[in-house]
Chain A
Amino acid sequence: MTSAAPIALIDYGAGNVPSVERALQKLGATCKRVTRPSELADARAVILPGVGHYAAIIRALDENHLRGALLDAITRGIPFLGICLGLQALYSASEEAATFAGLSLFPGSVHSLPASVKLPHMGWNRLRIQRNSQLLAGLGESDYFYFAHTYAASSASEEVVATCEHGATFSAVLEHNNIFATQFHPEKSGAAGARLLHNFVSLAA
């Protein structure tokens, strides 16, 4: 794949930035870590990784003045991939940190999975595919992906292309125009995760 500009990887100190970077490099994709808004201006695609607490990702986006630049980049139509908290941040709010405003690209908020099951939802789980998607090309309901989260977005919205179940059905993969997101960690999901990242990189070519 020939690609001029690298894929921008938003680096606000999240633990999984190096793993995402390594996974992309293994696919032959060039990426650069981005910490300032100006660095997003000429990106051909952008990835928002995340792991940990909802407040951490929102605070980091605001403290580094990345919120506006990120929304501008998405409005410009370049492919965007949110991972884990990077999916949750697309909604208006989260029960995990109620005073922090999300990016509000989708309505609704993120809630805890029910206490009837062990939390965090930790480990390998399968998807229930709702409709065709570019991100899941070549992947199916027999593939496992690695999840590590307690909060999740509702499965009832139209941007949801695949759901997963752990105590409740929740949104596992989103796809809406140029916005893509996964609740699981493709960078930790073996060959299936690598295929998904490959699909995203192809969209960004």
Chain B
Amino acid sequence: MSLARRIIPCLDTDGSRVVKGVNFVGLRDAGDPAALASRYNAEGADELVVLDIAASRDRRPTFLETIRRVAAELAIPLTAGGGIRSLDDARSVIRAGADKITINTAAVERPELIRELSGEFGAQAVVVAIDAKLESESATPRWDVRIRGGRESAHLDALAWAQRAVELGAGEILLTSMDRDGTQSGFDVALTHAISTSVTVPVIASGGAKSPQHFAEIFSAGAADAALAASIFHDNVQSIRALKQFLASQSIEVRLPC
């Protein structure tokens, strides 16, 4: 197989600045989105995700301007999300320069939104984000879907919801482990493997990354098609270039930057 595994940095923004913090608590400024985008584009990132974690209506124009500024720096695909609840919301984000849109709570509340977006922009432009939390440690683990930034249960089984999202037209699943997010203890291999081997679309693993070994593990044992991380890249804890060189040395196919 020669389709490369993807490394995707994620910029969580308050609309205009990149912010950091665990579970929306203790947010601190981590830089200018366009400057980080430019750096990641040059370092060999395969795609970029930019999220508006505040997603308030009055700050919408600010976020669209951020998308425009970020897109101008990139020669790689851009996914944008946060606060997309309608076709019109999605249109404005795509017109601002995003190639794909990501939706989370809005899709749980109204699954038909997935079908509408996929019909309008194509499945390849629709990334359904799922925040999953382990519910029981029984013989067959089950993950609950969390919404509103992880604060509420959607009372949905993550595996069933992922399959339903794909049926409705999702072209990709962005899967975040709420158990691992912010812990830097590694991606959730069991969760990612369970979902990735049960859906027909690519799965992006998220939550818990720190070391290059974590990435190697999520690609080999976790069957992830792509892996996403934020703070380890922003803080220069991990350079994308060095990460990819490590993965290549582990016989994992990646696009090495020139």
Identify the A interface with B (CB < 8 A). Answer: 15-16, 18-19, 22-23, 51-53, 115, 118-126, 144, 146, 148-150, 165-166, 185, 187-191, 193-194
Point out the residue from B77, B121, B125 that lies within 8 Å of A146, measured CB to CB. B77
Give A164's nearest chain B residue, CB to CB: B2
Q: List 30 A-B contacts (CB under 8 A).
A: A15-B94, A18-B97, A19-B99, A22-B72, A52-B120, A52-B122, A53-B119, A53-B122, A118-B201, A118-B202, A118-B225, A119-B201, A120-B171, A121-B3, A122-B124, A123-B225, A124-B3, A124-B4, A124-B46, A125-B2, A125-B3, A146-B76, A146-B77, A148-B99, A149-B124, A150-B123, A188-B75, A188-B76, A189-B76, A194-B75
Point out the residue from A121, A123, A194 that lies within 8 Å of B226, measured CB to CB. A123
A149 — which chain B residues lie within 8 A by C-beta?
A: 124
Give B77's nearest chain A residue, CB to CB: A188
B94 — which chain A residues lie within 8 A by C-beta?
A: 15
| A interface footprint on B53-78 (CB within 8 Å = 1, 0 otherwise) | 00000000000000000011001110
For B75, B123, B125, the residue with the greatest tally of chain A CB atoms inside 10 Å of its CB is B75
Within the complex, the shortest CB–CB distance from B47 to chain A, in Å, comes to: 8
Known: A123-B6, A123-B46. A15 touches B75 (CB 8 A): no
The answer to whether the Cβ of B85 comes within 8 Å of any Cβ in the partner chain is: no
Give A189's nearest chain B residue, CB to CB: B75
B77 — which chain A residues lie within 8 A by C-beta?
A: 146, 148, 185, 188
Identify the B interface with A (CB < 8 A). Answer: 2-4, 6, 41, 46, 71-72, 75-77, 94-95, 97, 99, 119-125, 171-172, 200-202, 225-226, 255, 258
B41 — which chain A residues lie within 8 A by C-beta?
A: 190
Q: Is the CB of A52 within 8 A of B4?
A: no
Q: Is the CB of A120 within 8 A of B75?
A: no
Q: Is the CB of B255 within 8 A of A124?
A: yes
Give B4's nearest chain A residue, CB to CB: A124
Known: A115-B200, A120-B171. A16 touches B99 (CB 8 A): yes
Known: A15-B125, A18-B97. A191 touches B6 (CB 8 A): no
Within the complex, the shortest CB–CB distance from A49 to chain B, in Å, comes to: 12
A23 — which chain B residues lie within 8 A by C-beta?
A: 75
**Chain B's interface: helix, strand, loop or mixed, by majority?**
loop
A51 — which chain B residues lie within 8 A by C-beta?
A: 99, 121-122, 124-125
Q: Is the CB of B124 within 8 A of A120?
A: yes
Give A122's nearest chain B residue, CB to CB: B202
In the assembled complex, the Cα of A193 lies from the Cα of B172 at a distance in Å of: 23
For B99, B171, B202, B225, the residue with the greatest tally of chain A CB atoms inside 10 Å of its CB is B99
In the assembled complex, the Cα of A115 lies from the Cα of B199 at a distance in Å of: 11
Give A127's nearest chain B residue, CB to CB: B2
In the assembled complex, the Cα of A144 lies from the Cα of B46 at a distance in Å of: 10
Q: Is the CB of A52 within 8 A of B72?
A: no
The 7 closest A-B pairs by CB, nearest first: A52-B122, A144-B255, A148-B124, A124-B4, A124-B255, A120-B124, A190-B75
For A18, A122, A124, A188, the residue with the greatest tally of chain B CB atoms inside 10 Å of its CB is A122
For A125, A126, A188, A190, the residue with the greatest tally of chain B CB atoms inside 10 Å of its CB is A190
Within the complex, the shortest CB–CB distance from A59 to chain B, in Å, comes to: 13
Q: Is the CB of A123 within 8 A of B3?
A: yes
Within the complex, the shortest CB–CB distance from A174 to chain B, in Å, comes to: 20
A15 — which chain B residues lie within 8 A by C-beta?
A: 94, 99, 121, 125
Within the complex, the shortest CB–CB distance from A183 to chain B, in Å, comes to: 12
A189 — which chain B residues lie within 8 A by C-beta?
A: 75-76
B123 — which chain A residues lie within 8 A by C-beta?
A: 120, 150
A123-B6, A126-B2, A148-B171 known; 5 other A-B pairs, CB under 8 Å? A115-B200, A123-B4, A124-B46, A144-B255, A190-B76
For B2, B41, B71, B172, the residue with the greatest tally of chain A CB atoms inside 10 Å of its CB is B2
B121 — which chain A residues lie within 8 A by C-beta?
A: 15, 51-52
B95 — which chain A residues lie within 8 A by C-beta?
A: 18
In the assembled complex, the Cα of A73 lies from the Cα of B53 at a distance in Å of: 47
B119 — which chain A residues lie within 8 A by C-beta?
A: 53
Q: Is the CB of B124 within 8 A of A150?
A: yes
